[in-house]
Amino acid sequence: MTWQEQDLPTEHPPVASGKTGVLLVNLGTPDAPDTKSVRRYLKEFLSDRRVVEIPAIAWQPILRGIILNTRPRKSAHAYQQVWTPEGSPLAVITRRQAEALSSRLGDAIRVDWAMRYGSPSISDRLEAMMEAGCERILLAPLYPQYSGATTATVVDKAAAALAEMRWQPSLRILPPYHDHPAYIRALETDLSGQLDRLEFVPQVLLLSFHGMPQRTLELGDPYHCHCHKTARLVGERLAVKRPDMRVVTTFQSRFGPAKWLEPATDTTIAGEAAAGTKRMAVAMPGFSADCLETLEEIAMQGRDQFLDAGGEHYAALTCLNDGQPGMVMLEALMRQELAGWIQSAE
């Protein structure tokens, strides 16, 4: 019995309290791989002022008049290529990460998961955690490298949810972990194992991060620097056993006419093959879980681009997902950020 329960008058309704929670948050996914669901998802995603920093008066007519009438059908087809019997890969893997983390942290910590765009929503899960008695919540955006368009918008959405609560939980936010030793160690272990299991020896390993407009770098967003530091640290570790494998950092998923961070993954894949590279592997260390951008854009489109340009052997490596190295890392990060709360919750 908590102190709150001890002090309640007998006629007071039951109150759940005194617990600690962790909310894992990833980007989002449509509810189904069909045009209607994808349109609803893209409308929410591309209406976020942190994702598209064009004034709404100029952007919304383009979004509603052109993009939402053309892109959903194409994107739905792409989602159909990677959809699983359990649903969206990103949602399925994030749920599994939450379940595995819950087992690791024990009964003292309630672990849940949410999506920034789509379902389950951040506001719904925060409300559910409060109803379950979580007065202290660690909000964990699963973005190793910080960007205003990723980590910050998760915090924005959580703040908006808190603004509607009479009784707010205490909130901590997982900081970016692009250079955290546990993250770099997990990537080294996981990527080394996958490279060892390949039937060929890559000449080049691309480390492909999600792209951002060049303007974000110029405005002070640290994302570009975080990506390059991750790539440098991982490359240094992999070079110990694979000194002849070149490691190249690129950025994928360009959208629209604006200038994006370079070099671009797609042009680099084709350019390497055209220049004589025959064996390539691609890893995506900025993604905590496999999703459309890794499974369709890199594993499928990337393979076609490489082989069509003259390459012979190509492999898209999986993300950390809910594998052992990734879960060891997540547990270490959460325990670090929960310090002081875990003891009081036990």
Q: What is the pLDDT of residues 42-51, one digit of tens each?
A: 999 999 999 9
CATH number, domain of 284, equals: 3.40.50.1400
Whether residues 190 and 115 share a domain: the answer is no
What pLDDT does 268 receive?
Answer: 98
What pLDDT does 342 receive?
Answer: 83
Whether residues 108 and 225 share a domain: the answer is no
Place of tokens 């924005």: 156
Whether residues 214 and 146 share a domain: the answer is no
Q: Is residue 14 part of a domain?
A: yes
Q: Is residue 24 part of a domain?
A: yes
pLDDT digits (tens, 9 = 90+) for 226-278: 999 999 999 999 999 999 999 999 999 998 788 999 999 999 999 999 999 99
Distance between CA atoms of 261 and 211, rounded to whole angstroms? 6
Q: Is residue 341 part of a domain?
A: yes
Residue 200 has pLDDT above 50, yes or no: yes
Q: Is residue 321 part of a domain?
A: no
What pLDDT does 13 receive?
Answer: 67
Whether residues 63 and 109 share a domain: the answer is yes
Higher pLDDT, 303 or 342: 303
Place of tokens 């819950």: 102
User: Cβ neighbours of residue 155 under 8 Å, at least 6 residues apart?
Assistant: 139, 141, 173
Q: Is residue 132 part of a domain?
A: yes
Whether residues 113 and 232 share a domain: the answer is no
pLDDT band, very low/low/confident/very high, at 344 (cuts 50, 70, 90): very low
User: Are 269 and 280 contacting, i.e. CB atoms less than 8 angstroms apart?
Assistant: yes
pLDDT digits (tens, 9 = 90+) for 80-131: 999 999 999 999 999 999 999 999 999 999 999 999 999 999 999 999 999 9
In 30-180 the beta strands, taken as DSSP E runs, fall at 109-118, 134-141, 170-173
- Least Cα distance to 149 among 21, 75, 47 occurs for 47
- Least Cα distance to 201 among 279, 91, 315 occurs for 279
Global pTM value: 0.94
- What average pLDDT does range 190-219 have in this prediction? 97
- What DSSP character marks residue 30? -
Q: Is residue 36 part of a domain?
A: yes
**Residue range of the domain that includes 260:** 181-316
Q: Is residue 306 part of a domain?
A: yes
Number of domains, the chain: 2
pLDDT band, very low/low/confident/very high, at 346 (cuts 50, 70, 90): very low
Whether residues 264 and 151 share a domain: the answer is no
> What's the angle, vertex CA 62, arms to CA 88 and CA 154, rounded to 5?
45
Whether residues 268 and 334 share a domain: the answer is no
The pLDDT mean for the chain works out to: 95
Whether residues 122 and 256 share a domain: the answer is no
The answer to whether the peptide bond before residue 176 is cis (omega within 30 degrees of 0) is no
Hey, is 255 helix, strand or coil? coil
Whether residues 165 and 230 share a domain: the answer is no
User: Are 91 and 29 contacting, i.e. CB atoms less than 8 angstroms apart?
Assistant: yes
Whether residues 294 and 189 share a domain: the answer is yes
Whether residues 157 and 202 share a domain: the answer is no
Whether residues 53 and 170 share a domain: the answer is yes
